[in-house]
Amino acid sequence: MALISCPECQTEISDKASSCPKCGHPALYVVDNKKWYKHLFYSAWMYLMSMIIMFFIHTKEGMTAPQFIVSLVGFVGIIWFLYALGMLLTSRIRKN
C-alpha cells in the first residue's frame, strides 16, 4: 500500500482511499489509474486475439477482406494500448 499526497490539502492518504479523510477531496488519480489498467488489459487482449486470428487465416497471396479487418482491429488495439499506457504513466507523474 502506497501513500499519495492529497492534491487539495497535501495530506498523505492511502492510494486505496476513495477520498481524502481530511478535506474530502476525491482521490481522482487513483480512480484514473484503475480505469486505465482496465483499458490496458482489454486493448492487450484485442491485439492478442487479432494476432491469433491472423495466424489462422494467414495466406501467402495478397490480403483478403477478413485479413484486412482483423489487422485493422489489431492496429486499433495497439494504438489503444499505447494510449492507455501513456495515460497511466502521466497519471502516475501527476500523483507524485
* Stretch 4-43 residues interacting with Zn ion (CB under 5 A): 6, 8-9, 11, 20, 22-23, 25
Considering the complex, state which of residue 16 and residue 38 has its C-beta at the smaller distance from Zn ion.
16
Residues 6 or more apart whose Cβ sits within 8 Å of residue 18: 26, 27, 30, 31
Residue 50 CA to residue 39 CA, distance in Å, equals 17
The gap between the terminal CA atoms of the chain, to the nearest Å, is 15
Q: How far is the CB of 25 from Zn ion (least distance, A)?
A: 4
Please say whether the beta carbons of 13 and 5 come within 8 A: yes
Q: How far is the CB of 41 from Zn ion (least distance, A)?
A: 30
| Local structure of residue 2 (DSSP, 8 states) | -
Site string for Zn ion, 55-94 (x = CB under 5 A): ----------------------------------------
Q: How far is the CB of 32 from Zn ion (least distance, A)?
A: 17
Considering the complex, state which of residue 20 and residue 84 has its C-beta at the smaller distance from Zn ion.
20
Q: Tell me how crowded residue 37 is: count the other CB atoms within 10 A of its CB.
A: 12
Q: Under the rule (CB under 5 A), what is the footprint of Zn ion? A: 6, 8-9, 11, 20, 22-23, 25
